[in-house]
Structure 1
Amino acid sequence: MTIRSVVRGVGHYLPERVVENTEFEKTLDTTDEWIRTRTGIERRHFAAEGETTSQLAIKAAQAALEDAGMTVDQIDAIVVATSTPDQTFPSVATMVQAGLGSTTGFAYDVQAVCAGFIFALSNANGMILSGQAERVLVIGAETFSRIMDWTDRGTCVLFGDGAGALVLEAAEGTGSPSDRGILASDLHSDGRYKDLLYVDGGVSTTGSAGHLRMQGNAVFKHAVTKLSETAHAALEKVGMSGENVDWIVPHQANLRIISATAERMQVPMDRVVVTVQDHGNTSAASIPLALSVGKQRGQIKEGQIVVTEAIGGGLAWGAVVLRW
């Protein structure tokens, strides 16, 4: 008997405030056309004053639990991927646990920036395969608007806030790629590239949250190469290639990166779930957001092969192959 981690439910939440590209024209030397042409982004959501990452995560978690037909009492563990926690500690995950009314199981955060959800999903899968948990709530949640430098047109127009979540449950499988659930994962990091994408603050350095800094062109080049390589590596572990993929659900950072990665994987864009135009880059929240939206649109259906891949600060990157 083989144990697989099967997706039972998915959900998301976006803050009410929608910020169109034209809003940035009032304060920056930029235009709606400039942003759309270079990124594919048309709008994004920003959290309201006082609205926290944990609050977004709780709402996404509630939606995922409802979609799964489960209550929080059935959840053994909560894993939250975020780089923008409410506080230095405790973890956002424990705040989500309390917010959902759970007093059992355990909860913790994972931090791998934009690749955070891939790392969290792989971690949750490992706990299920080891028997440490039967059902895990995996969440990506961010309020990146809190760490933007609003004078830097190269970064502040790119990011948005939001949260996505899914419920994983242990199920019996045959051990073959025909099983539903997570089939393979592939994770990497290389700290030599930390200066390409980082935040210029922190507890043990400046004592402040700091602002996001990025060398956009360099990150773009690494992203296209590393994302296609990690996706291929994960697929090869189960004897698959791009032609077997029903949907790529990529990290939603930049439409040009998404298109270039799909081309390298030899997967047409009509088999790629794209939400970047409406959400911007929501970091660790972008993949679960896109999974939820993809299901709502009727794109992602049970039994289909889905590949998710992401790269973020660190640099950290990886991919997961699953059968929905």
Structure 2
Amino acid sequence: MSKATISVIIPTQRRPQGLAVAAQSILRQQGVAADRLELVVVDNDRTPSAAPLAAELAAQAPFPVHYVHEPEPGVANARNAAMAQASGDLIAFLDDDEEAPEHWLATLLEVQARLQADVVFGPVRGRAPPQVTRHRDYLETFFSRLGPDEAGLIENYYGCGNSLLRRAALPDPIAPFSAVRNHTGGEDDLLFGGLKAAGARFAWAAEAFVWEDPVPARLSLGYTIRRAFAYGQGPSAACAAAQPPAYLGLAYWMSQGVVQAAVFGLLAAWKGVTGAPDFAFTLDRAARGLGKTLWWGPFKIEFYGRSAA
């Protein structure tokens, strides 16, 4: 029996430097035969701004590099366009602000094969540049993904960046990501939540970490607290979007959010006045609680799908 083919997908939107770092890290992967690999770069800009860089990568790579231009804005649109191009039985996702160490992919593949997992997730380690000193610990933690110390099967799921999916396990192998989350994000939560309900096997690859280098505009409380609020909206919005709606779950998350926002909001106010070093961590928890409570229509925050003409 021939070995499964692997497609690595990198979605991007006007981040040439980040895309170059992420893609070059795929070209440096070890422990996986080149004839099993392909790289798919999906450009979600109105104009094909990443095409020249993709062409440079294709000239360097020992495996096929495919460029997909998806002008219709939206994170789900971009991921689905890449999935339609990808030929792999296994699909790995890397974001355009991430960098993968040279044994990243081999480690994901080993864990997937050993545990027969449908989806494998790995850690993310946030990196802030040296000039960032204010709230540095919080910012690096915010852009990190933590998990168990050892590889194994897990019950929960994480985001799409740094993940490996078994295509045959997806409800739609070509367009599995829901367009309803194009602008808010969370399209991966909807997919993985549905897979969990269907009995999919999730695994954690503790050694398959990637670095995340946020763009400077994101290294501020103004961005991260808004993002924390949006993260808080996730479980409540998921319950409301379920078919039929999970009203008991929605009531649970909203009531939890009220308590969380009140307790940590007051605590954050006190820590802000006193200059406590963990002020940002506490404010983050308050924002997530508020998001659980205020999750609908006018309170939804859109982080994606803002392509320039």
More strand by share: 1
Bigger Rg over Cα: 2
What is the TM-score when the length of structure 1 is the normalising length?
A: 0.34
Between the two structures, name the one with larger relative contact order (CA 8 Å, sep ≥ 6). Answer: 1
What is the TM-score when the length of structure 2 is the normalising length?
A: 0.35
